[in-house]
Amino acid sequence: METDKEEFKGWRSFFWPVYRSEWKKFFPMLGMFFLIAFNYNLLRTFKDSMVVTAPNSGAETIPFIKVWAIIPCAILLTYVFTRLANRFSREKVFYIMMFIFLSFFFLFTFVLYPLRDYLHPHEFADRLQALLPSGFKGLIAIFRNWTFTLFYVMCDLWSSAIFSVLFWGFMNEVTSVHEAKRYYGLLMIGANASSIMSGQISVWFSDISFSPSISYGTTKWEQSVLFLNCTIIACGILAIAIFRWLNTRVLGPAEKAQRMNDTTPPPEKVKMSMRKNMAYLAKSKYLICIAAIVLTYNVAINLVEVVWKNQIHALYPDPSDFQSYMGQVTKVIGIVATFAAIFVTGNVIRRFSWTTSAMIPAAVTLVTGLGFFAFILFQNAGLDAFAAMAGFSPLAFGLFLGSMQNIFTRASKYTFFDATKEMAFIPLSNESKLKGKAAIDGVGSRLGKSGGSVIHQGLLLLFTTVSASTPVVAGIFIVVLLIWILSVISLGKQFDALVEGDAKLEIPETPAPKPVLAKETA
């Protein structure tokens, strides 16, 4: 029988560094990760198709949603999560948050979406559009199609509330640094495989023909909405069942104490107000660096994606075609990310430093982003000839480059970025880990996305269209990437010092000039 003292050899060290005694914990985690990531990938494309192709809408609507809808809702949801965490156990908080999201998707599918023509104030929005400059089209669209805006917000918050805060918070609580180096690369395979399946599901449901026998909707897109939302609800319920089984059959109190090398009673429940939650980041350079990495990634990807989605809408204005194309991109992302997770990610993380692993997503984003912006800005200076040689129109070739940028950036995010970011939380004490993740993932990532949206929003008001503002967007993109790279270098030095010193970083309750290192209990 294998023990934790045995070393893996040959192919096992490369592909499967998991002990047989750990299977009962690892496989349920893998299944749970697959389902939550499946919903994340499905919702990520679904929300764009819903909003971008809505009446009198477009890609320019997205920056306004992220500023005027997602920021307030993210702050509200973080407040709710903090209050729940102060009153209930981690397990109960998971059930309550999942119930909130799944209940909304049920309500949207069977109430809000069928009644959208009665609920959306199109006449009043038309009067506003006639009075205001054309640069306000995106702002008016979020009010015009307010049920779609609410759907977009809930889809977007799934990634922070369920995927980042709840699931990864649970993972970091029950996983040591030694286990994380062996587990996280493999877990990414499950998440990336879910991307392949969610992309294919999106294509299937978008390409189906309208069926009169189904008493829902009058077009194939409306029936696709039914199928997609029912799939999301079913996967959410199954993830809850696996989480319940893990907590009742696998992760008992004694086993938790043994895994965390701690024989002391479980710590008291963390109680922290919303204000303290937000102020917590300012007390630690370590947390500031993690926040900077999360912020800059989200700003960078948002800067590129708005330009890219504007091109998709220009080529595929029909919602079914838009969703089908986004599903194809999601499927390719999953294939590339799965290949990287199997053959690259785990081995790079185990054999190289944290800094090297965390630098890969920044490098990929920079190189592919520069290629995309270069063609968009200089296609009339001779680059369109390359598109013609490849058999593409300039619009189609620009869309192809943007898709490649999104595929490789997202693939590096789902493998290296997520794994290294979550590893960075492990050297924190339990209390600091919970508070830091709530602040960074609950609000920090949303501010990052909204930061890119604020930039786009301001440029749209100045330049009216996404295309006209692209040169300025490209310049800001380069600056953001440089900040990302410097943050990775700084955090890597601090992370290595903590791991080598076998220390836990304890963030003080009161501001202090330097963080206090407390030796981990043997």
| pLDDT tens digit sequence for 437-477 | 777 765 566 677 677 888 888 888 888 888 889 999 999 99
Q: Looking at per-residue confidence, does 23 or 81 come out higher?
A: 81
Q: Which two tokens stand for residue 315?
A: 């080529």
Question: How many whole angstroms separate alpha carbon 475 and alpha carbon 482?
Answer: 11
**Candidate from 127-136, 253-262, 467-476 with smallest mean pLDDT:** 253-262
Average pLDDT over residues 83-98: 90
Mean pLDDT on 396-423:
90
280 secondary structure, DSSP code: G
Residue 194, CA distances (Å) to 190, 320, 330 in order = 6, 21, 10
Per domain, the residue ranges of the chain are 21-519
Give pLDDT, residue 262.
Answer: 41
The closest of 337, 482, 306 to 419, measured between CA atoms, is 337
Q: How far apart are the first and last CA of the chain?
A: 26
> How far apart (Å, rounded) are the C-alpha atoms in residues 464 and 137?
9
298 and 373 in contact (C-beta within 8 Å)? Answer: no
Over residues 385-414, mean pLDDT: 85
- Residue 1 pLDDT: 40
Q: 355 with 488: CB under 8 angstroms?
A: yes
Residue 270 has a pLDDT of 45
Residue 442's pLDDT is: 53
Q: Which of 48-62, 76-90, 204-218, 271-285 has the lowest average pLDDT?
A: 271-285
Say yes or no to pLDDT of 169 above 70: yes
Cα separations (Å) of 154 from 149, 361, 464, 466?
Answer: 9, 27, 28, 25
* Tokens matching residue 420: 């290294």
Q: What is the mean pLDDT of the chain?
A: 83
DSSP 207-260: HPPP-TTS-S-SSHHHHHHHHHHHHHHHHHHHHHHHHHHIIIII--HHHHHHHT
Integer CA distances (angstroms), 126 to 464, 466, 484, in order: 18, 21, 42
Helix (H) or strand (E) holding 477: helix 466-500
Q: Tell me what the mean pLDDT of segment 124-147 comes to.
A: 91
pLDDT tens-place string over residues 56-81: 998 889 999 988 998 888 888 888 98
What confidence score (pLDDT) does residue 254 get?
A: 47
Q: Would the CA dihedral through 308, 314, 317, 321 be positive or negative?
A: negative
Candidates 327, 313, 270; CA nearest to 93 is 270
The pLDDT assigned to 10 comes to: 55
Range from 8-12, 126-130, 170-174, 407-411 carrying the lowest mean pLDDT: 8-12
pTM beyond 0.85, yes or no = no
> Which tens digits make up the pLDDT trace of 197-241?
999 999 999 988 888 888 898 999 999 999 999 999 999 999 999
Mean pLDDT calculated for residue range 169-178: 75
For 124, the token pair is 């009043």
- Give the separation between CA 94 and CA 163, rounded to whole angstroms: 11
How far is residue 59 from each of residues 8, 128, 203, 496, measured CA to CA in Å? 49, 19, 21, 42
Residue percentage of the chain with pLDDT more than 90:
39
The answer for residues whose C-beta is within 8 angstroms of residue 117's C-beta and 6 or more apart is: none
The band of 177, judged by pLDDT with boundaries at 50, 70 and 90, is low
Element (H, E) at 504: strand 503-506
Position 504 scores a pLDDT of: 67
Average pLDDT over residues 510-520: 47
The distance from CA 11 to its chain's CA centroid, rounded to whole angstroms, is 32
At the fourth CATH level, which superfamily is domain 21-519?
MFS general substrate transporter like domains (1.20.1250.20)
pLDDT at 414 over 60: yes
DSSP bridge pairs for 503: 519
pLDDT at 261: 46
Determine the pLDDT at residue 508.
Answer: 61
